[in-house]
Structure 1
Amino acid sequence: MNISQKSVMVVAPHQDDEVLGCGGLIASKQEQNIPVQVVFITDGAASHSWHPQFQAGEIVPIRREEALKALSILGIKPSQIHFIDEPDGKLNFLNSVERQQTIEQLAQLLQSFQPEEVYVTHRHDRSEDHEATYKLVQEAIMFSEIKTDVLQYAIWMFCNFLTDGNVQLEDLAGAYRLSIHHVQDKKRQAIEAYSSQYLPIDAKSAAVLSRSFLKQFFLPYEVFFKLDSIQK
């Protein structure tokens, strides 16, 4: 598939999901001066919550700076980036008021930008925050009443998919492959900008994202799943 000329909003649960799933897409759109905006749903605070070096929330400014750096490599300016800052790991536990506020924040961004395409984590992406993000975007699009194409990207869905049997044929519906070979180096640099996730935080720790896991994101293409309609 060739890159479309449609404006795009990429919605990511955490800082790094946007580059892993859509880094090539973002860079390709920017090179063609196609309008792009990126929205982060959570604050990323749960990363390294187990580590004695980090008190609750101390990783947040680090991940925010990494996001700004990574996206700048792809050509994205700070004015194109939005942080909603919901609590990392707790999207499924928002109360009704908090949930509605998040939906309305997303809807305002959608109404203001009027993206012709919205990219969001797959509704069966095997991560609670990722699947909750899909549902929030689903409701925000309906609330905003805008018309847009919705495409899903997978981060965790394909991990061990040949052996664990969790990927269903219906999950693969609407799949297409986008060549990103011409911006592959930019995507690699952007992933590496997330050093808190890409590298061990100290000599005693392993990296949050292993090299074997990251291999799937260093390919010369990205896979997306287009929806004919918003699905529950």
Structure 2
Amino acid sequence: MTLAGRAVQAAGARWRRRVADRAADVTGTLAGRALLVLAPHPDDETFGCGALIARARAAGSPVTVAVATDGARSTASARLSPAGLARLRTGELHAACAALGVTDVLQLGFPDGGLTDRRDALTTRLRGLYRDLRPEYVLLPCRQDAHPDHRALHEAALAAGPPRALAYPVWAWFEAPVFPAAAAADRVALWAWAAARSGWLRVPTGPYLAAKREAVSAYLSQTTNLTGEPGWSHLDPRFVAAFLGPHEVFRPA
């Protein structure tokens, strides 16, 4: 790794520690609450709030995981078609949720990479979920994630009128405070968000980190070069490690 790369990695680690240290512990606030976890792709629920999900299920609290897309476009492959990749990721999703204690898993069927163009339909679908499931808290991806599906789901989830909403960072958690993947037009807002010293919330991973690790390991298509193809896209081990710390963090949405 280059000197610049090591500097960026160190800055990210310091930023994450600072955010977690300054965050308010809301473990008691969320205890016993019915949760609806919204994920743009299979695996975001686990990286964003897997330990919180496991904690809630261990306490007997109802948790529904609703995934907007099938993740069929996560990588190019000569060995797996998009449909085959979607089936693989569906299996991984259910295995990961089982590790977290969740059996109520919904797949909303929107196309991977297409949430921005279907925001109105997504909002309508989420409004129906809120009405039918009556969650006390909705967990959703944060607005600062650079991926357009994450942003579109965030906006649709809020437009649908959730009772209470907490946003979990995924790409923003790993990329801050440098945000190399952010569009230039978003940099000022992203920097301001990254520098904020208040408003963060946390829940310790504690004994539920083991369940989260098991759930992460279910996503072999995302954490390994599953087929051995040179072009297979998967997450850097440093990305995975950033989500296996002593706390999960959130912001009020």
TM-score, normalised to structure 1, is: 0.86
Alignment map for 1:78-89 (pairs within 5 Å): 80-89=104-113
The answer as to whether partners of 2:40 and 2:153 remain within 8 angstroms in 1 is: yes
1:158 pairs, out of 161, 170, 173, with 173
Q: TM-score of the superposition, structure 2-length normalised? A: 0.80
Shift, 1:179, TM fit = 0.4
1:6 touches 1:116 (CA, 8 Å); kept in 2? yes
Aligned-pair CA distance for 1:204: 3.4
Distance, in Å, in 2 between the alignment partners of 1:85 and 1:158 is: 26
**Structure 2: stretches of 5+ with no match in the other structure:** 1-24, 181-186
After superposition, residues 124-203 of structure 1 pair within 5 angstroms as 124-141=144-161, 148-164=163-179, 166=187, 167-170=190-193, 172=196, 174-203=199-228
User: Please, which runs of 5 or more residues in structure 1 have no aligned partner?
Assistant: 228-232
Tell me what 2:131 maps to.
111
Aligned-pair Cα RMSD in Å:
1.8
**1: CA distance, partners of 2:221 / 2:178:** 30
Distance 1:164 1:23 in 2: 23
| CA deviations over 1:44-103 (Å, ceiling 9, x no partner) | 11022x2111223221111111111100011111xx111111000111123xxxx43322
Distance 1:197 1:136, change over 3 A: same
Aligned to 2:117: 93
Q: Does structure 2 conserve the Cα–Cα contact (< 8 Å) formed by 1:15 and 1:63?
A: yes
Identify the residue that residue 18 of structure 2 maps to in structure 1: none
* 8 Å Cα contact 1:198/1:207 also seen in 2: no
The 2-side partners of 1:164 and 1:42 are apart by: 24
Paired positions, count: 215
Of residues 84, 88, 110, the one that matches 1:62 is: 88
Q: Is the 8 A contact 1:46 1:57 kept in 2?
A: no
Deviates more, 1:3-12 or 1:187-196: 3-12
Which of 216, 220, 235 in structure 2 is aligned with 1:209? Answer: 235
Equivalent position of 2:10 in the other structure: none
Kindly state the Cα deviation for residue 207 of structure 1 after the two structures are TM-superposed. 5.3
Structure 1 residues 63 and 21, CA gap change in structure 2 (3 angstroms): same
1:29–1:36 Cα contact (<8 Å) kept: yes
More helix as a share of residues: 2
Distance 1:106 1:215, change over 3 A: same
Identity of aligned residues (%): 28
- 1:164 to 1:10, Cα distance in 2 relative to 1, 3 A: closer
Cα distance, 1:176–1:155 mapped onto 2, change above 3 Å: same
